[in-house]
Structure 1
């Protein structure tokens, strides 16, 4: 894993451990958006993983039904 991917992964884990419990679970998707981000970065690397995560976050809004949305295969 590249240093950039490790940094992104660390930021996402920090969010999960520190902010996630405080903000409460409100993600409409499975896996959660932060877990999706971790999987995307691990599978696709930092740049593409961040792009996939940003696209996912853009879809996460009150008018979206949500549901199962796995990270695409490599």
Structure 2
């Protein structure tokens, strides 16, 4: 893992710990999950950066965040899709 991957992952983990509605102390006060995707967008970003590298993984994570809108139903969306 290179320095860019580590920096991105540390930034996402910081966000998860202090700001995320699904992972931080805010999540303990909610009764249900906030994110419509599984894994959550921050977990997806970490996995994408680990598996695809800093550049591609970062943009995969950004694309995932951009798809999070009321018109998208969400659901299971892994980093590596199953090949048919």
State TM-score, norm by structure 2. Answer: 0.79
Structure (1 or 2) with the greater helix fraction = 1
Partners of 1:65 and 1:31 lie apart in 2 by 14
**Stretches of 4+ aligned residues off by more than 3 angstroms:** 22-25
Match of residue 30 from structure 2: none
Higher Rg of the two aligned structures: 2
Partners of 2:44 and 2:61 lie apart in 1 by 7
Unaligned runs of 5+ residues in structure 2 are 28-32
Q: CA RMSD in A?
A: 1.5
Post-superposition CA distance 1:6-48 (Å, at most 9, x none): 0000000001111112665521100000000000000011100
Tell me, yes or no, if the aligned pair for 2:9 and 2:49 is still in contact at 8 Å.
yes
